[in-house]
Structure 1
Amino acid sequence: MLLLALLVSITCLVLYVRRVKRILSRHSKPLTYFSDVMLHGKTVLITGGNSGIGKETALDLAGRGSRVILACRNLTKAKETAEEIKNITRNSNIITMELDLNDLESVKKFAQRINQNEKRLDILINNAGIGVRGSDCTKQNYDEFFGINYLGHFLLTYLLLDLLKKSAPSRIINISSYAHIFVKKYPDFYLGQHGAKIKYPNLSGYATSKLCNILHSKILSKKLKASKVISNSLHPGMVKTGILNNDPFQGKGLLRILLYRILFKYMGRSTKDGAKTVIYAAIDESLNDISGQYFENNSIANNELSKLAKDEKLAEKLWDISLQMCAEYLEN
Structure 2
Amino acid sequence: MPIFQPSVAPLPEGISLRGQTAIVTGASNGIGTEIVVQLLEREISTVILAVRNVPKGEATRESLLARASIKKTNPNAVIKVMKLEAEDYDSVQSFTRTFIAEHSELHILMLNAGISIPNRDIVSGGHEKTIQVNYLSHVLLLLELLPLMTETAEKSGKPTRITWTGSRMHGTSVLATGKKPLKPGQTVLGHFDSKESFSSFQRYGDSKLLCLFFLFELRKHLNGDKVIQNSFCPGMIDTGLSDVYPIYLRIPVNIVKAARARPVEVAGWVALHAAVVAGPESHGQFFGDKKIVDPAPYVTSEEGQRMQKMLWNETIDEMSKFITIPTWMKKV
TM-score category (smaller protein): 0.7 to 0.9
Cα separation, partners in 2 of 1:210 and 1:51, compared to 1, 3 Å: same
Cα separation, partners in 2 of 1:133 and 1:152, compared to 1, 3 Å: farther
Report deviation, 1:312.
Answer: 4.6
Is the 1:240–1:264 contact (alpha carbons within 8 Å) kept by the matching residues of 2? yes
Paired with 2:310 and 2:76, the residues of 1 have a C-alpha distance of 43
Question: What secondary structure is seen at the aligned counterpart in 1 of 2:244?
Answer: coil
The amino acid across from 1:306 in the alignment is P
Is the 2:235–2:262 contact (alpha carbons within 8 Å) kept by the matching residues of 1? yes
What are the superposed Cα offsets for residues 238-292 of structure 1, whole Å, 9 maximum, x if unpaired?
Answer: 01101111145xxxxx6444322321234211111122110111110x4234211
What are the superposed Cα offsets for residues 178-230 of structure 1, whole Å, 9 maximum, x if unpaired?
Answer: 111112236568359xxx9x846577521110101112222232322164211
Aligned to 2:319: 326
Q: How does the TM-score come out when normalised to structure 2?
A: 0.82
Report deviation, 1:54.
Answer: 0.8
Aligned to 1:75: 54
Aligned to 1:117: 102
Instruction: Give runs of aligned pairs for residues 117-196 of structure 1, distance below 5 A.
Output: 117-133=102-118, 136-168=121-153, 169-183=159-173, 184=176, 185=178, 190=186
Cα separation, partners in 2 of 1:133 and 1:107, compared to 1, 3 Å: farther
Report deviation, 1:294.
Answer: 0.7
Q: Of residues 31, 56, 60 in structure 1, which corresponds to 2:34?
A: 56
- % identity of equivalent residues: 27
The amino acid across from 1:178 in the alignment is R
The number of equivalent residue pairs is 298
Q: Of residues 300, 311, 315 in structure 1, which corresponds to 2:292?
A: 300
Q: How does the TM-score come out when normalised to structure 1?
A: 0.82
Paired with 1:91 and 1:33, the residues of 2 have a C-alpha distance of 25
Q: Of residues 95, 104, 114 in structure 1, which corresponds to 2:80?
A: 95
Paired with 1:296 and 1:128, the residues of 2 have a C-alpha distance of 19
Paired with 1:72 and 1:134, the residues of 2 have a C-alpha distance of 22
Is the 2:49–2:81 contact (alpha carbons within 8 Å) kept by the matching residues of 1? yes
The answer for unaligned runs of 5 or more in structure 1 is: 1-19, 249-253
Larger radius of gyration: 1
Report deviation, 1:129.
Answer: 0.5
The amino acid across from 1:68 in the alignment is V
Q: Of residues 270, 274, 287 in structure 1, which corresponds to 2:267?
A: 274
Cα-Cα RMSD: 2.5
Instruction: Give runs of aligned pairs for residues 140-289 of structure 1, distance below 5 A.
Output: 140-168=125-153, 169-183=159-173, 184=176, 185=178, 190=186, 199=193, 205-225=203-223, 227-248=225-246, 255-284=248-277, 286-289=278-281
Cα separation, partners in 2 of 1:203 and 1:41, compared to 1, 3 Å: farther
The amino acid across from 2:9 in the alignment is T
Aligned to 1:31: 8
What are the superposed Cα offsets for residues 71-103 of structure 1, whole Å, 9 maximum, x if unpaired?
Answer: 000111111111222232124311110000011
Paired with 1:158 and 1:181, the residues of 2 have a C-alpha distance of 26
Paired with 1:101 and 1:207, the residues of 2 have a C-alpha distance of 18
Paired with 1:155 and 1:314, the residues of 2 have a C-alpha distance of 20
Is the 1:221–1:230 contact (alpha carbons within 8 Å) kept by the matching residues of 2? no
Cα separation, partners in 2 of 1:155 and 1:214, compared to 1, 3 Å: same
Paired with 1:226 and 1:278, the residues of 2 have a C-alpha distance of 18
